[in-house]
A = this chain, B = another copy of it.
Amino acid sequence: MITLKEIAKMANVSSATVSKVINGKDKYISDATRKKILDIVEKEGYITNGIAKSLKMKNTKTIGIIIPDVMNLFFSELARGIEDAAEKKGYTVILCNSENKVSKTKKYIEILQEKMVDGIILTPPEKCDFNSIRPGRTPTILLDRDVDVETNEPSKIGRIFVNNTAGSYKATSHLLSKGCKEIAIISSDTQNKPSLERIQGYENALRDKGYVVNSDRKYLESYNIETGYNGVKSLLMDKRIDGLFCGNDLIAIGALKALRELNLSVPSDVKIVGFDDILLSRYLDPPLTTIKQPVYVMGEKAIEMLIALINDEQIDDLIILETLLIERDST
């Protein structure tokens, strides 16, 4: 690899001059010198050594994102939104899959700090208190899963979440407005805020309309397809149910499969609402009514907020985004 110093030698100038020209700080450089340098740079195919530059400049223009799993459609959309926004701002993204494990999350945070990333975007593992993964001085955005952070938190922390309570309230109200009388919920039993809020919204909606919340209309396990499948099989064993709120779209996919096996048709026998609006939901049979999380926007906002933190700008360090009901044929 050819270096700046070598370019300087070829052009018979100092390395300072070459640096200035390359970085456009060439107010006090003659046109002749500038051209001479640029020609050589071009001819030799010189590429800046970003590592040396980073060492001197104390930034890397790189951020890390830690998510449970890119294969999960929700997170792959998130990753894409983040990468797109980052690229536009001149940042590059290191991808880390935590598998929802605190241990892996901690390990990745350490690696990212060694790599001197300028910031981290982190979706914490489902069960995780913030103190156990505190990212030190690196600016960090906590995304998607709310976590208790002390108010006098010394680090640079931003938080971006979705209003889960309102989302599941919307979903349940929608089912009610479609005439459902016996509405069940299948969701995750993890004790973190988003999960609890999604259950809370469901319960609030029922209570507000004068219904009782019945604990044998709840099936709580995990945010995956199997849970949806098992949930329907278990809930519909002996009870009648005409409405189903699923904690996320994967659960809804499993639920649809189980309902088909039970020869129940959607939406005539049972109406279903999901949560997330992953890319696939509109191609299910029937296309799934769901609560859309503004995933791409989350990515953009996360980058925006993170860069503000990196640059020590004053910003609102908590954003709560609203969801949107997307009505399709499952209700």
- 8 Å CB contact of A260 from B54, B84, B285: B285
Q: For the complex, is A55 an interface residue (Cβ under 8 Å from B)?
A: yes
Interface of A is mostly: helix
Q: For the complex, is A16 an interface residue (Cβ under 8 Å from B)?
A: no
Question: What number of copies of this chain does the assembly contain?
Answer: 2
CB <8 Å contact, B60 and A69: no
Determine the chain B residues whose CB is within 8 A of the CB of A279 once the complex forms: 71
Determine the chain B residues whose CB is within 8 A of the CB of A76 once the complex forms: 70-71, 73, 76
Chain A contact residue count (CB 8 A cutoff): 46
CB <8 Å contact, A55 and B51: yes
- 8 Å CB contact of A83 from B70, B93, B136: B70
Cβ proximity bits A223-242 to B, threshold 8 Å, 1 near / 0 not: 00100000000000000000
> From A112, which residue of chain B is reached at the shortest CB distance?
B92
Q: For the complex, is A49 an interface residue (Cβ under 8 Å from B)?
A: yes
Task: A260 to B285: give the CA distance in the assembly, Å.
Answer: 9
Q: For the complex, is A20 an interface residue (Cβ under 8 Å from B)?
A: no
CB <8 Å contact, A50 and B97: no
Cβ proximity bits A29-51 to B, threshold 8 Å, 1 near / 0 not: 00000000000000001011111
CB <8 Å contact, B97 and A95: no
- 8 Å CB contact of A47 from B48, B79, B114: B114
Cβ proximity bits A83-100 to B, threshold 8 Å, 1 near / 0 not: 110000000111111000
CB <8 Å contact, A93 and B95: yes
Q: 20 A–B contact pairs at CB < 8 A?
A: A47-B113, A47-B114, A49-B114, A51-B54, A51-B60, A62-B94, A62-B115, A70-B79, A71-B76, A71-B77, A73-B73, A76-B76, A80-B97, A83-B96, A84-B97, A92-B111, A92-B115, A257-B283, A257-B285, A280-B280
CB <8 Å contact, A94 and B92: yes
Q: For the complex, is A315 an interface residue (Cβ under 8 Å from B)?
A: no
Task: A136 to B2: give the CA distance in the assembly, Å.
Answer: 12
CB <8 Å contact, B77 and A95: no
CB <8 Å contact, B51 and A116: yes
